[in-house]
């Protein structure tokens, strides 16, 4: 299986979009939290039922210790492709990319 980059944009503080992972459609809800100075991700199924919420932590596998029945099983990580361990608001989708795949 190939590694995919999930397209992200930083110019909008909060937005939702659909993404297909392992032949299932999910709704990703991204929002910038000004208090924590970081992006947060909520994932919903196609029926808009909440699955999980998490801060986006750079250079770490997301959900690696979770085994949720309705969540995809392949790895996902937000990676800074420039060379540091942070993801400022404007970097999402540019130097900070969300990867998934095996």
CB 100 within 8 A of CB 21: yes
Read off the pLDDT band of 66 (50, 70, 90): low
Cβ count near 50 (within 10 Å): 11
Instruction: Dump pLDDT digits (tens) for 19-51.
Output: 999 899 999 999 999 999 999 999 999 999 999
pTM of the full predicted structure? 0.88
Query: How many Å is the maximal CA-CA distance in the chain?
Result: 38
């Amino acid at each position: 299986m190939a590694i995919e980059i999930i397209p992200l944009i930083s110019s909008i503080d909060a937005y939702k979009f659909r993404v297909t992972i392992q032949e299932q459609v999910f709704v990703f809800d991204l929002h910038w939290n000004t208090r924590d100075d970081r992006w947060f991700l909520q994932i919903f199924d196609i029926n808009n039922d909440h699955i999980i919420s998490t801060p986006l932590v750079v250079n770490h596998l997301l959900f690696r210790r979770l085994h949720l029945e309705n969540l995809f099983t392949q790895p996902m990580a937000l990676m800074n492709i420039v060379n540091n361990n942070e993801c400022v608001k404007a970097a999402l989708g540019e130097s900070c990319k969300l990867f998934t795949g095996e």
